[in-house]
């Protein structure tokens, strides 16, 4: 039986699912001119955020292959995106979507390197206690 209280819970569940599926939980400006459009509809993330997300797909690959990287390399791969974003934010120059994709991918892969390396270090350290 459905009452106002359970209907409210369903509404919250639907809203949370819409936020998750629509990627609304990711902070992004979602400017139409900086977002990809497929079949006439705007993707819920800009080119930069989408590219970072795609770069994160490297994390399970690095973990499965037991690949470890120098942390400085992962940090270094984030610098182009930080420089691109900062100089545009300060209105020193204007970026473009191709540059946002490339720097976003580098950032996502760099973050994946740091995440995978730290995860492998942590798991090896924890396994010493088992
Ligand atoms: Zn974005």
With contact defined as beta carbons under 8 Å apart, do 84 and 117 qualify? no
Q: What is the pLDDT of residue 26?
A: 86
Return the DSSP state at 38: E
- 20 domain residue, yes or no: no
By percentage, how much of the chain surpasses pLDDT 90? Answer: 76
- 21 domain residue, yes or no: no
Mapped onto helix, strand or coil, the DSSP state of residue 77 is coil
Spans in the chain with pLDDT lower than 50: 1
Q: What is the pLDDT of residue 128?
A: 94
- 4 domain residue, yes or no: no
Query: Ligand 1 centre and the CA of 27: distance in Å?
Result: 7
Q: How far is CA 120 from CA 19, 28, 59, 70, 108, in A?
A: 31, 30, 11, 12, 18
Place of tokens 């037991």: 66
- Total domain count for the chain? 1
- 23 domain residue, yes or no: no
Q: What is the pLDDT of residue 126?
A: 96
Query: Ligand 1 centre and the CA of 64: distance in Å?
Result: 29
Query: Ligand 1 centre and the CA of 47: distance in Å?
Result: 7
In sequence order, the β-bridge partners of residue 37 are 42
Q: What is the pLDDT of residue 2?
A: 53
- 11 domain residue, yes or no: no
- 5 domain residue, yes or no: no
- 79 domain residue, yes or no: yes
Range of the domain at 123: 31-127
């Amino acid at each position: 039986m459905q009452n106002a209280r359970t209907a409210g819970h369903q509404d919250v569940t639907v809203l949370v699912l819409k936020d998750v599926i629509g990627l609304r939980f990711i902070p992004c400006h979602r400017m139409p001119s900086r977002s990809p459009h497929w079949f006439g509809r705007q993707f819920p993330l800009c080119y930069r955020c989408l590219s970072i997300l795609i770069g994160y797909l490297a994390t399970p690959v690095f973990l499965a292959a037991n690949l470890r990287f120098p942390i400085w390399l992962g940090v270094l791969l984030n610098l182009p995106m930080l420089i691109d974003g900062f100089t545009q934010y300060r209105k020193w120059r204007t970026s473009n979507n191709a540059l946002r994709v490339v720097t976003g991918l580098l950032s996502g892969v760099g973050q994946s390197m740091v995440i995978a390396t730290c995860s492998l270090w942590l798991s090896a350290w924890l396994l010493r206690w088992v």
